[in-house]
Amino acid sequence: MDLSGRVGRIVAAVGLLAVATACANQPADPEPAVASPTAHSDRSSQATATTAVTAPPAAEGMANCSYTAYGQSARPADPPPMFDVPATGTSTVTLNMTEGTVAITLNRAQAPCTVNSFESLAKQGFFDDTTCHRLVDQGIYILQCGDPSGTGSGGPGYRFADELTGSEQYAKGVVAMANSGPDTNGSQFFLVWADTQLPPEYTIFGSIDEASLEVVTSIAAKGVSRDNSPHPISPARIETVSLG
């Protein structure tokens, strides 16, 4: 994977003096660079194209979202509902991890289409029994999860647009989407465990409380594998995900 372009942008933003590896200072591993999907007999593992569907204006307090088929899903998943998506209030999703529970407060008003996708995947068990495959503890401070393949290149079989204001700040406790460029969101997300300087290019869709932050920092405290991979030494496995 050619990561040099994305790494360069983050290095410039953070002002790092050195980069050990291409992914060491990139907060978002890209999903696989593949052509637009063709017809596939297994609809459970291939998202259905949705761009041709036209919807009436969303009701008050609701939003319409677009999820476009892209690549092969790392695990069977259906695309989320697109129309009249809740766009007010918050909800809670809990990651039951090997090191403890991490409760994420999802902000529907800030990123309704992102929250809608995250909740849909969680309900389908997409994140169950998956490993947070990437820990960064130099320059930026993130734990990245959401890829059932554990490789950093897996996604849900669809992509969707960024939800950005241009003033995003990645303070500790923030939960944001990983991406490989504008409007390439899928299933990968990252938890910020210490204040991090990044360009406002990653959709923030939630936050974790102090107790959850302690669980993530305990993972980070054990360090990163030094075998030319960004995997945390701690198991960092999401066993199940519960909503509400």
Which amino acid belongs to residue 25?
N
Q: Which of 43-52, 56-65, 67-76 has the highest mean pLDDT?
A: 67-76
Beta-carbon contacts of residue 157 (< 8 Å; ≥ 6 apart): 37, 45, 46, 47, 69, 70, 71, 72, 73, 77, 79
pLDDT for res 129: 97
Contact call for residues 176 and 115 (beta carbons, < 8 A): no
Report the distance separating Cα 214 and Cα 101, nearest Å.
10
Go through the domains of the chain in sequence order and give each one's CATH number: 61-243 (2.40.100.10)
Average pLDDT of span 157-178 = 98
What are the tens digits of pLDDT across the range 207-233? 999 999 999 999 999 999 877 789 999
Q: What is the largest CA-CA distance in the chain?
A: 52
Does the structure show a pLDDT above 60 at 235?
A: yes
Does the structure show a pLDDT above 50 at 173?
A: yes
Please tell me which residue, 50 or 35, carries the higher pLDDT value. 50
Lowest mean pLDDT among 24-38, 57-71, 109-123, 170-184: 24-38
Task: For CA atoms 94, 95, 97, 100, give the dihedral sign.
Answer: negative
Report the distance separating Cα 3 and Cα 30, nearest Å.
8
C-alpha dist (Å) from residue 118 to 79, 89, 188: 11, 15, 10
